[in-house]
């Protein structure tokens, strides 16, 4: 219990003192996390909508792979990105390994299946009667899209929150592709692992409190938008 209190006090002291390293780590964490969830949402929502509303050959097999990807171990994603960005890999010429871009790519891979899968599940629950009613009213494709988005907004926000949660909690892939380089690719999760390995549990706890506070602010904001739209 004393260790938890010490960690909380140290976190407050770090934030109050404006520790440059902590600010750099927290800023980079927010930057890569928000960038990853942006691209995951940008691609995941349309894919989830198509899978949820359409029927085509191979759809079940594709959904199987999406559901498999929802439980993809981060270290596997990290390995794939490492092989892709390695000097002899397909993208090795761009020297992206051990950069924030590599972390974003890894986080994108682990979060995309979650957003696609949950979005697909949300759209699959749309009543056939609603679709027939929209069609009978002569709505255009654009109008139909907006109506369906309005009907499924709560589920969509839930998918985004789940994807962001996976990104914030991810550490294995970020460690592999980012290298935990001080001032360059060190984020809060990799910093916590490093401090624990060094036996600095008070610092690790302090960083964990900062991480959870950042996660609370981001997910809390999304949840506020979700519930406000629900009550609107």
At residue 134, the pLDDT reads 80
Tokens of 232: 């609107």
Identify the CA nearest to 153 among candidates 92, 232, 37: 232
- The arithmetic mean of pLDDT across residues 61-75, rounded, is 90
Tokens of 110: 């682990």
At residue 229, the pLDDT reads 53
The CATH code of the domain at 2-231 is 1.10.3720.10
At residue 58, the pLDDT reads 86
Res. 175 pLDDT band, cuts 50 70 90: very high
At residue 207, the pLDDT reads 85
At residue 128, the pLDDT reads 78
Terminus-to-terminus CA distance in the chain, angstroms?
43
Rounded to whole angstroms, how far apart are CA atoms 172 and 212? 18
Predicted structure pTM score: 0.86
Identify the CA nearest to 37 among candidates 124, 162, 182: 162
Q: Tell whether the model's pLDDT for residue 228 goes beyond 70.
A: no
CB 58 within 8 A of CB 50: no
Res. 15 pLDDT band, cuts 50 70 90: low
Specify the length of the chain in residues.
232
- The arithmetic mean of pLDDT across residues 77-82, rounded, is 92
- The arithmetic mean of pLDDT across residues 19-43, rounded, is 91
Helix axes 20-53, 59-70, angle to 10 degrees: 160
Identify the CA nearest to 208 among candidates 191, 222, 225: 191
């Amino acid at each position: 219990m004393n260790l938890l209190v010490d960690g909380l006090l140290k976190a407050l002291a770090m934030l109050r003192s404006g520790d440059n390293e902590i600010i750099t780590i927290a800023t980079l964490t927010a930057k890569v996390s928000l960038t990853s969830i942006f691209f995951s949402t940008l691609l995941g929502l349309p894919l989830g909508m198509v899978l949820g509303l359409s029927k085509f050959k191979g759809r079940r097999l594709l959904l199987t792979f999406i559901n498999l990807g929802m439980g993809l171990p981060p270290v596997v994603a990290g390995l794939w990105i490492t092989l892709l960005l390695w000097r002899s890999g397909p993208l090795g010429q761009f020297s992206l390994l051990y950069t924030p871009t590599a972390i974003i790519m890894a986080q994108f891979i682990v979060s995309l299946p979650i957003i696609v899968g949950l979005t697909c599940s949300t759209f699959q629950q749309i009543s056939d009667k609603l679709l027939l009613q929209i069609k009978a009213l002569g709505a255009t494709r654009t109008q139909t899209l907006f109506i369906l988005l309005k009907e499924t907004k709560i589920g969509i926000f839930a998918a985004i929150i789940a994807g962001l949660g996976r990104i914030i909690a991810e550490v294995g892939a970020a460690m592999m592709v980012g290298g935990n380089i001080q001032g360059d690719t060190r984020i809060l999760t990799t910093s916590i692992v490093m401090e624990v390995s060094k036996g600095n549990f008070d610092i690790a706890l302090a960083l964990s409190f900062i991480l959870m506070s950042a996660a609370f602010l981001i997910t809390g904001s999304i949840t506020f938008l979700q519930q406000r739209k629900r009550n609107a």
